[in-house]
Amino acid sequence: MVQETEHVCGLCDGQGYHVVMVGGTETCPACDGLGVEEEI
Ligand SMILES: [Zn+2]
């Protein structure tokens, strides 16, 4: 049985964080650092 993979978060590209302009990283607000989008 093939299970569908979790949707990789498009905002952080599945990394769970994104680079901010101030020169650091910030926990992705879209996936809360999980790197995957929650399916509603
Ligand atoms: Zn994300």
The DSSP line for 4-16 is PPPPBPTTTTTSS
Give this prediction's pTM.
0.62
Q: Over range 8-19, report the average pLDDT.
A: 90
**How much is the pLDDT for 8?**
92
- The answer to whether 30 touches 12, Cβ cutoff 8 Å, is yes
Q: Average pLDDT of the chain? A: 85
Q: Which two tokens stand for residue 17?
A: 């964080």
Domain map of the chain by residue range?
Answer: 1-40
pLDDT of residue 24: 92
Q: How far is the CA of 16 from the centre of ligand 1 (A)?
A: 5
Question: Residue 17: what pLDDT?
Answer: 92
Distance 25 CA to ligand 1 centre (A): 12
Question: Could you tell me the sign of the dihedral formed by the alpha carbons of 15, 20, 22, 27, in that order?
Answer: negative
Q: Which residues surround ligand 1, an ion (CB under 5 A)?
A: 9, 11-12, 28, 30-31
Q: Cβ(28)–Cβ(35) under 8 Å? A: yes
pLDDT given at position 11 = 87
Q: How far is the CA of 24 from the centre of ligand 1 (A)?
A: 16
